[in-house]
Amino acid sequence: MRYVLAVPMVPMKAFFDILEQLYKKVLLGATLENESHDYIFYLNPASLDLDCFTTTSSECSNHHDVQGRHQPSSANLASISVVPVRLKKHSPIYSAREITLLQLTVIKVMITRILSAETDSHAKEKYRDVIKILLKSSDIDSKLTCMFQNSDKLLCHMAAKCLALLLYFQLREKITLSNSWVAFCQKNLSEYPENEKVVYCLWTLTVIIKEIFKDTCSQKTEILKQFLTPFDTIFQVFYNSLFSLHFKSCQDTSKIINSMICSLELLELLIASRIHLKLHFTCQRILFLKPSCVLDVITWPVEAFVKRKFIIFIKKCLLWKVGEDLCWGSGPALMPPDQYLDVDMLALADAVLQAVDLGLLKTLSVRGKPPCFGGDEVQPACECVHGPDHVILRAASLLIIKSLEIKFQSCASANEIKVDLQSFMSELLTFLKPHLQPSLQSHNPCEWISRVFIEQDDDMLEAAKASLGIYLKLTRQCKTTEGLTQEKEMWNHHTHKYGYNPHCIFLFLLKNIGFDSSVLLDFLISSETCFLEYFVRYLKLLQKDGASFFTICKYFDVTELKDSINICGCSSSLVQDRSSNQTELSLWAALGSHRNAHASVPWASDASGPLNQPVMSKEPHITLQAAAGLSPPQASQSLVDYDSSDDSEVEVTDQHSTNSKQTSLQQEAKKKFQDTVRTGTDEKELSMEPQSRPLVPEQSNINIPFSVDCDISKVGISYRTLKCFQELQGAIYRLQKKNLFPYNATALLKLLKHTESIYNESMNSL
């Protein structure tokens, strides 16, 4: 029941003090002693007439709705009865604005306490009663939406935050949403861009969906369904209106950018709800139905940070990782894909490739001021080092490689795959070339993944997995359409030239981590990367394609040998005017390579500068700098939720080094080489079963000079790779034996064990 009373005035300080005491009690989760109705007067924003609080002490003639008659004492909020009062100006510190902000804060904290599992049940029930009475006794939704018109940005923000929590409270308590608020949002969304209040509608909608994700209740899907139903059609209208604007002709572009950023966040949450909650609204598919609208924004003359946000958003959509930051811990699990998933992903991938074909990469702002936390301005006294924006480089690279993988999954023609792959990978490598130093032109093109993604492990592994998927798809197609050896060699040349040979990519990955098995172990038990799925698929490929792997390993050895000779200052005595092809063949001959090895690794002939040709004996002198490994890091304790390593094959979406100071390069190489070739006393414990013969020969108590005559197979990259696999196998086996490994790795251990026989067969064939 409402009482309409004329209220006498009281100093604002008294009102503020009461609110402050209430805030402290709610913040601590303490139980409120008074009747629930007693607190409504102090929480209702209508208790404050903002026009009344002037520098004078004149009374306001308006009447206000009053619910309670109890005012807390200075010690606590317990029952000192007072008549309802009107506030009188006491001090500029206690302004109407400050009191209103404190009211909104108390409401926000109270609802947060209701939603928290840590709040005492009695206190929670009291808070729930207070909020329910507040919702029934006053049209608080309308009062808060009226604050959106205020020029005070902080007041608008707090009003939107408070309103969002009140609306979510209603959804959770199965209270019908206010018709006035629903109508307010529908009107503003449908009238964009004429109506400027749309930002607060978007922001409120976003906060509500975030609260649904954060909540631990089991009715998430039902709550979200109830919430989205009135806005499904309206949001589609707004989406079309927003992204059909002519940006260049707009006078105030800042408002458009603000609306776009807010809508992008809401769009991401809608797609995330499709992934993690079983719902099928059209607004959740709007990006996939009209992907060109969002892609066009990247080509607009907008600030670099806007393009960055949009390209990262599209990358997340292609990787099916939208909303992953909302769903950790107790968040909702990944739902089975809906019936439209394949069609939608193919539509988005096609739109990305079409945009790239129309010149999307040329519109990206890769160079310029470095993006920094807090702005891009650098103090005059500080030196500004300009360089490429690696976030953009990584996102653009993943957009193309992932879109190609998605498109090729539904493509039946090997020729069509090759044509598209050649076209888009050429454009990508051309785009990356100016931003990578030294340029990719003088290196193996397959190195682009390791170079671009060296600072982002999860993206690097996604790119490697996508390129492996493309290779496997093309391999299957080529087996059915090609049979001639010459055609196969041409296709092998194609994989190197356009940077998607899986053996090269994997070897560059191992080189980046210094062949450190503990880093691979960290990847395997981490839930933040797709390494398990990628690694299992690659090991299966290695079983079938071991010959290509060892051929490529030999070329890597040649390259390291050449680099080591140059570092040692031997290049001055070498012949400089020979062609790169001749040099490469001489190096292959010195290593006893296969006759057709040059055809298998043709990228070196495209190098920009001539290779230096050394004069080599039958048993080459090898510098061991390249063979030196890096110190192992500690493995991460994060776990991945796989029941078995077999499951990684069907999963949908799924550098660290320690520097040590050495007195000389010779001592460092000597020590690391000894570590590489020496077998420890517990070597037999590293395998699942006793080995028929050790993979690594016993080499104890021998002195190895910096440059020695030895077989390349004992220090080459294939040896270091298999040594890394053996150490990884032993680490996994020991952890699984103690039930410390997060999933059943039996299948993975079998694959790793099989690599030993592949290596032994290769050594025997030499």
Using 50, 70 and 90 to split pLDDT, how confident is the model at 214? confident
Looking at the fold, whether 316 and 456 belong to one and the same domain comes out as: no
Looking at the fold, whether 98 and 225 belong to one and the same domain comes out as: no
Of 168-177, 287-296, 304-313, 477-486, which gets the smallest average pLDDT? Answer: 477-486
* Rounded-to-integer distance, Cα 732 and Cα 713, Å: 26
* Section 417-425 average pLDDT: 92
Q: What is the pLDDT of residues 185-203, one digit of tens each?
A: 999 999 888 777 888 899 9
Looking at the fold, whether 239 and 135 belong to one and the same domain comes out as: no
Res 666: pLDDT: 37
Inside any domain, residue 232 = yes
Mean residue pLDDT of the chain comes to 74
Which of 176, 195, 219 is the endpoint of a domain?
A: 176
Domain count, the chain: 4
Residues in the chain: 766
Looking at the fold, whether 142 and 195 belong to one and the same domain comes out as: no
This prediction has a pTM of 0.75
> 523: which residues sit within 8 A by CB, 6+ positions away?
457, 461, 529, 531, 532, 535
Looking at the fold, whether 110 and 168 belong to one and the same domain comes out as: yes
Using 50, 70 and 90 to split pLDDT, how confident is the model at 453? very high
Of 116-120, 371-375, 492-496, which gets the smallest average pLDDT? Answer: 371-375
Distances (CA, A) of 657 to 48, 523, 530, 660, 686: 61, 15, 21, 10, 23
Domain, as residue range, for 554: 514-564+714-765
CB 590 within 8 A of CB 616: yes
Inside any domain, residue 311 = yes
Inside any domain, residue 16 = yes
Top mean pLDDT of 141-150, 423-432, 625-634, 702-711 is at: 423-432
Res 721: pLDDT: 94
Distances (CA, A) of 372 to 257, 306, 308, 369, 389: 20, 14, 13, 9, 11
* Section 146-172 average pLDDT: 90
- On the 0-12 / 13-18 / 19+ scale of CB atoms within 10 A, 95 is middle
Q: What is the pLDDT of residues 464-509, one digit of tens each?
A: 999 999 999 988 877 655 555 666 778 778 888 999 999 999 999 9
Using 50, 70 and 90 to split pLDDT, how confident is the model at 761? confident
pLDDT > 90 fraction of the chain, expressed in percent and rounded: 39
Residue 5 DSSP one-character state? E
* Section 571-598 average pLDDT: 40
Looking at the fold, whether 339 and 204 belong to one and the same domain comes out as: yes
Res 625: pLDDT: 36
* Closest C-alpha among 66, 105, 104, 107 to residue 87: 66
* Closest C-alpha among 14, 7, 24, 21 to residue 91: 14
Res 766: pLDDT: 59
Looking at the fold, whether 181 and 289 belong to one and the same domain comes out as: yes
> Helix 304-319 to helix 390-409 angle, to the nearest 10 degrees?
30
Looking at the fold, whether 422 and 459 belong to one and the same domain comes out as: yes
* Section 597-626 average pLDDT: 38
Between residues 430 and 388, the one the model is more confident about: 430
Residue 617 pLDDT greater than 60, yes or no: no
Looking at the fold, whether 428 and 500 belong to one and the same domain comes out as: yes
DSSP H or E run through 274 = helix 253-276
Helix (H, G, I), strand (E, B) or coil at 102: helix
Inside any domain, residue 745 = yes
DSSP H or E run through 751 = helix 746-765
Inside any domain, residue 655 = no
Helix (H, G, I), strand (E, B) or coil at 319: helix
* Section 583-597 average pLDDT: 40
Which tokens belong to 676?
């590489």
Q: Which residues of 357-378 are buried (b: 16+ CB within 10 A; e: fewer)?
A: eeebbeebebeeeeeeeeeeee
Residue 689 pLDDT greater than 70, yes or no: no
Q: What is the pLDDT of residues 431-449, one digit of tens each?
A: 998 888 776 655 688 999 9
Looking at the fold, whether 168 and 270 belong to one and the same domain comes out as: no
Looking at the fold, whether 360 and 509 belong to one and the same domain comes out as: no
Inside any domain, residue 471 = yes
Residue the block writes with tokens 């110190």: 631
* Closest C-alpha among 163, 238, 143 to residue 205: 163
Which of 142, 176, 210 is the endpoint of a domain?
A: 176
Residue 67: what residue type? Answer: Q
Between residues 252 and 419, the one the model is more confident about: 419
Inside any domain, residue 509 = yes
Residue 589 pLDDT greater than 50, yes or no: no
Looking at the fold, whether 449 and 490 belong to one and the same domain comes out as: yes
* Rounded-to-integer distance, Cα 564 and Cα 583, Å: 16
Residue 320 DSSP one-character state? T
* Rounded-to-integer distance, Cα 565 and Cα 180, Å: 78
Inside any domain, residue 403 = no
> 379: which residues sit within 8 A by CB, 6+ positions away?
none
